[in-house]
Amino acid sequence: MSLLVVGLSHRSAPVSVLERASLSADAKVKLLHDTLAAEPAAEATVLATCNRIELYADVDKFHAGVAELSTLLAQHSGVALEELTPYLYVHYEDRAVHHLFSVACGLDSMVVGEGQILGQIKDALALGQELHTAGRLINDLFQQALRVGKRAHSETGIDRAGQSLVTFGLEQLAVREPVADWAAGKRALVIGAGSMSSLAAATLARVGVAEIAVANRTAERAERLAEILVASGTGVAARAVPMSAVADELGRADVVVSCTGATGLVLTGDDVAAAVAGGPAGHSPTPPLPETGAVHRTPWGPRPQDPAPQSPPATAGRGPRAGLDFADADVLARLVIAAEGGQRRLADAGAARTITPSAPAADGCPVDVPVGDGRSALTGVDASSLELHGAWADQGEAAAQRQQPRRVARSQGDGAVPVRLALLDLAMPRDIDAAVHRIPGVRLVDIESLAEASADAPMAADVDAVKGIVAEEVAAFGAAQRAAHITPTVVALRAMAAEVVAMEVARLDGRVPDLDERQRAEVTQTVRRVVDKLLHAPTVRVKQLASEPGGAGYAEALRELFDLDPQTVASVSRADAADPKNDDPGRAS
């Protein structure tokens, strides 16, 4: 069996194709079940993010595997095979391992060095484990990929080359102005309360927006995220609003970040045009800012005129917190660190889905914050549990997908008209109609424009060091897998030799029955030593040769030369796989 990956990503396909090929949660499950039902595959899992869709499988036939996996991807993505094929890439054996390790290190990400992909790899592994489609190879591969990614972030400065998509997107909205200066005092609307939306809200709070409204299909999740933001110590005023109020909130917002699981548009061109036509965000009177620690869930009233913008309160949580150790931080530390581009150990964008709370309510948020208690309510809450809020919201949103027809266009730059409304769309499929960039006074940054901008982003010198780590780890993983492949054959050979010794000793007992126990033991030990010495050099050497590229044939040669029963070798493999000491069935940490 050999590792095969078939997929497409932002490097091989335009965003419009990725958008159409995106897989829902149900589609992933059906894809994996159908992959195992296909003849070439013995185990599989799928890595699906907004930037890539990749199907990993252990196959016994390369060409049949490629054909079958490509067909299944097309079938479950809804894109015709002949249309999808030009954008597919294929990696096999060591190249497939190299590809996944590079992905885990952030080398293949839209923003090089970002750490969010680690969480998505965890999710892919967790899904395969949950569905029992991930066997020994997939488990070993993905567990090692996570370790390689963590090693790259801890041993190099790859984090300096990358940042979160949220931070990068805000930089694109701010153009040449520092994000903190651009965001200071602005009103923000965050649509969604999942892991990426939670990260966006924390980022906006850190860079200095004055007010954040959180809209979500489930009001409880929006309220909980608002509670967390207020308790963060950044001084931001946060409140929850229903999705039905989003159109009204657009007229009050300066910046909007949207990342939901909807399959249709959340903001249409008409929505945005109506909001902009209502005048600048400061056209309505400004309500008093809520006091820190209070969450307002009722919409702000109409405001004929705004006072001069006020700088947000200076608080200890406002500025960057470089060097903050996320393990020792308060409740918002994990999101804030991620927002600063330091999420080297934070598995964002879905990582939290693999973290199991000690005793969560069946239908409640695992971040147990009493509504209205503000900052004091979060005292003592473990930082890891905050990630669970985003995952809890993500899982709830999966059931509320919309069917509105989509209109696809490409985001373009702005002209000389001042920007009235800045929009950041981090969803795939898109939440915001791409045609809104044609509306005067609107600036839109989406996944496609982020891909174009990241192509020109500077690369850190540490990228070469990470590439070296990947090459080293690929060689070590390949050697370990090849050595493991020869082991059942060696064990079967030694078992056969032990059986031969036992048969010959029994035969000797029949011929020389007068041997006492001491003599019989000496003869038996002598025969065993002879057999062991004859087998020692070949078995040691075959393990060494098998660990080298192209060494898989030595196991077959050994089986052929010693006429080993294939069923015996297979039974050794099954017994080895069932040994808990040789496998880690738990999820990666």
DSSP 89-103: EEEETHHHHHHHHHH
User: At 41, is the secondary structure helix, strand, or coil?
Assistant: strand
Tokens in use for 34? 């159908």
Q: How many angstroms separate the CA atoms of 416 and 412, rounded?
A: 13
Buried b or exposed e, range 494-519, using 16+ CB within 10 angstroms: eebbeeebeeebeeeeeeeeeeeeee
Q: Is 384 annotated as a binding residue?
A: no
Question: How many Cβ atoms sit within 10 Å of the Cβ of residue 358?
Answer: 7
Q: Is 216 annotated as a binding residue?
A: no
User: At 364, is the secondary structure helix, strand, or coil?
Assistant: coil
Q: Is 573 annotated as a binding residue?
A: no
Beta bridge partners of 7: 54, 89
Q: Is 197 annotated as a binding residue?
A: yes
Query: For residue 315, which of 232, 383, 373, 224 has the smallest C-alpha distance?
Result: 232
Q: Is 12 annotated as a binding residue?
A: no
Q: Is 50 annotated as a binding residue?
A: yes
User: At 253, is the secondary structure helix, strand, or coil?
Assistant: coil
Q: Is 49 annotated as a binding residue?
A: yes
Q: Is 253 annotated as a binding residue?
A: no
Rg (CA), the chain: 29
**What do you get for the CA distance between the two ends of the chain, in Å?**
27
Q: How many angstroms separate the CA atoms of 117 and 110, rounded?
A: 10
Residue 261, exposed/middle/buried by CB under 10 A (0-12, 13-18, 19+)? Answer: buried
Given a contact cutoff of 8 angstroms between Cβ atoms, the answer to whether 76 and 21 are in contact is: no
Question: How many Cβ atoms sit within 10 Å of the Cβ of residue 203?
Answer: 26
Q: Is 52 annotated as a binding residue?
A: yes
Selecting among 50, 105, 259, 365, the annotated active-site residue is 50
Q: Is 109 annotated as a binding residue?
A: yes
Tokens in use for 281? 């965000």
User: At 285, is the secondary structure helix, strand, or coil?
Assistant: coil
Tokens in use for 245? 């109020």
Tokens in use for 215? 């809209």
Helix (H) and strand (E) counts in the chain: 20, 10
Q: Is 177 annotated as a binding residue?
A: no
Q: How many angstroms separate the CA atoms of 350 and 371, rounded?
A: 25
105 is known as an active-site residue: no
Given a contact cutoff of 8 angstroms between Cβ atoms, the answer to whether 125 and 142 are in contact is: yes
Q: Is 139 annotated as a binding residue?
A: no
Q: Is 192 annotated as a binding residue?
A: yes
Instruction: Please provide the size of the chain in residues.
Output: 589
Q: Is 494 annotated as a binding residue?
A: no
CA distances from residue 144 to 41, 46, 149, 337, 484 in whole angstroms, order as listed: 21, 16, 9, 25, 15
Sheet of 52-59, strand order: 41-48, 52-59, 2-9, 89-92
Sheet of 255-258, strand order: 237-242, 211-216, 187-191, 255-258, 421-425, 442-445
Q: How many angstroms separate the CA atoms of 411 and 401, rounded?
A: 24
Backbone angles phi, psi at 151, to 5 degrees: -65, -40
Tokens in use for 399? 């059931």
Q: How many angstroms separate the CA atoms of 352 and 389, rounded?
A: 8
Question: How many Cβ atoms sit within 10 Å of the Cβ of residue 59?
Answer: 24
User: At 277, is the secondary structure helix, strand, or coil?
Assistant: helix
Q: Is 51 annotated as a binding residue?
A: yes
Catalytic residue numbers, as ranges? 50
Which residues are annotated as part of the binding site for substrate?
49-52, 109, 114-116, 120
Which residues are annotated as part of the binding site?
49-52, 109, 114-116, 120, 192-197
Which residues are annotated as part of the binding site for NADP(+)?
192-197
